[in-house]
Amino acid sequence: MSLTPLAFIGADLLALTVMVGALYVPRHSRKDLVAAYVGVNVGVLAVTTLLSTASVGAGLGLGLFGVLSIIRLPSTELAQHEAAYSFAALALGLLGGIQTASIALTATLMALVVTSLWIGDHPALLRRNRHQ
């Protein structure tokens, strides 16, 4: 394995660590969702890394994601911010695994995802807004 895929994997894991460790845990700290975010991210990263380096067609990759997307796991209802963190974990895994752009562009996009969560989920943002 060359250094290039390792750089993408490292960038993904760094972004995931910042998102979960520095943003989600101090603000919300639901232990069950921490495991979900890490599992989704690393799973998507592994599958997309394998599909991007193997000589399989795009049809197989799309079919695999289609099969995975119809699986519904029983769970409690997620709040909107938890859905945003789930989508961000998925997006970071995809960015790290596809590896078609440069590492600089990929790392910038990962930073954009994490920064937008930092801003959008900041406690000072819309402090006076309440939800009942």
Give residue-wise pLDDT tens across range 2-19. 788 899 999 999 999 999
Q: What is the pLDDT of residue 130?
A: 57
Long-range pairs, 41-44, Cβ under 8 A, ≥24? 41/12, 41/16, 41/89, 41/90, 41/92, 41/93, 42/16, 42/93, 43/93, 44/89, 44/90, 44/93, 44/94, 44/97
> Among 27-41, 42-56, 99-113, which is the least confidently predicted range?
42-56
55-95 pLDDT, tens digit per residue, is 666 666 666 666 666 555 556 777 888 888 988 998 999 89
Confidence of residue 42 (pLDDT cuts 50, 70, 90): very high
